[in-house]
């Protein structure tokens, strides 16, 4: 099998299981939390690192929210069985970067990785993320090239794959929809909060502090309640539904 076909096959396989990446992060976090010397980190530095971690994840969600909220039905979905693209997204954030959702994912999970306070862990997660998603991006681009041909090639040749070029920005043809964001992103936000809580809980256990800080309890409980409400509205009502939206 030619190398290009191998990469495409691997990418399609990983595409189906891309939602499992957080599991890898959680499992790898355990030994790195265990070996990190938290006693030597001052309270001021710990607060500084925490702010950086939260800001990174928050920035990742802003990118995801804007991307999800300005894309039409049939694209940027949570489908896992196969690639789907009824139209080629080329305006809005897609005018600046070809894979904004994966960029958002990276920032979200690197924010959680940063919360471990271990530089080596951040580097390793970054490398794993790149190896994991490089194949997925390759498979997606092969799919789009086959479906849209020269239209896709003309667009992709001038748009960076992962690092945005904001000078290329064009106003999205699709208006931003907060309903779409609420309907589709609550589970991701909850998973991120669980990630931060997991790191905080395990770290507190190792250094002999209370497992659950008041802040974490409040953040987790609030996020969980909001997620339950949104899930209920999504499954049992039409409040969050919109025509021509995924």
Per-residue pLDDT reduced to its tens digit, 118-146: 999 999 999 988 888 888 888 888 888 88
Residue 73: CB partners within 8 Å, gap ≥ 6?
86, 244, 245, 246
pLDDT of residue 4: 63
Share of the chain above pLDDT 70, in %: 85
Structural domain includes residue 205: no
pTM: 0.89
The residue range of the domain holding 166 is 3-175
Domain count, the chain: 1
Per-residue pLDDT tens for 108-121?
999 999 999 999 99
Q: How far apart are CA 237 and CA 145, in angstroms?
A: 38
Within a domain: 246: no
Per-residue pLDDT band for 187 (boundaries 50, 70, 90) equals: very high
Kindly state whether residue 229 falls inside one of the protein's structural domains. Answer: no
Query: Considering only CA atoms, which of 59, 97, 55, 57 is closest in space to residue 76?
Result: 97
Asked whether residue 33 is assigned to any structural domain, the reply reads: yes
Percent share of the chain, pLDDT over 90 = 49
């Amino acid at each position: 099998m030619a190398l290009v076909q191998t990469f495409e096959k691997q990418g399609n396989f990983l595409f189906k299981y891309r939602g499992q990446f957080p599991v890898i992060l959680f499992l790898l976090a355990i030994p790195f939390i265990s070996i990190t010397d938290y006693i030597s980190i001052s309270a001021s530095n710990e607060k500084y690192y925490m702010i950086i971690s939260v800001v990174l994840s928050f920035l990742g969600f802003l990118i995801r929210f804007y991307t999800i909220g300005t894309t039409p039905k049939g694209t940027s979905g949570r489908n896992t069985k196969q690639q789907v693209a009824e139209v080629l997204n080329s305006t809005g954030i897609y005018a600046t970067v070809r894979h904004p959702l994966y960029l958002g994912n990276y920032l979200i999970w690197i924010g959680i990785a940063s919360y471990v306070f271990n530089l080596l862990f951040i580097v390793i997660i970054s490398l794993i993320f790149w190896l994991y998603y490089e194949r997925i991006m390759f498979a997606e681009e092969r799919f789009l090239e086959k479906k849209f041909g020269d239209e896709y090639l003309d667009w992709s040749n001038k748009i960076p794959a992962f690092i945005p070029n904001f000078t290329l920005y064009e106003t999205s043809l699709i208006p931003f929809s907060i309903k779409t964001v609420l309907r589709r992103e609550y589970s991701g936000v909850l998973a991120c909060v669980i990630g931060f809580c997991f790191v905080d809980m395990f770290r507190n256990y190792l250094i002999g502090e209370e497992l659950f800080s008041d802040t974490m309890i409040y953040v987790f409980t609030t996020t969980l309640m909001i997620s339950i409400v949104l899930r209920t509205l999504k499954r049992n009502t039409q409040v969050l539904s919109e025509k021509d939206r995924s």
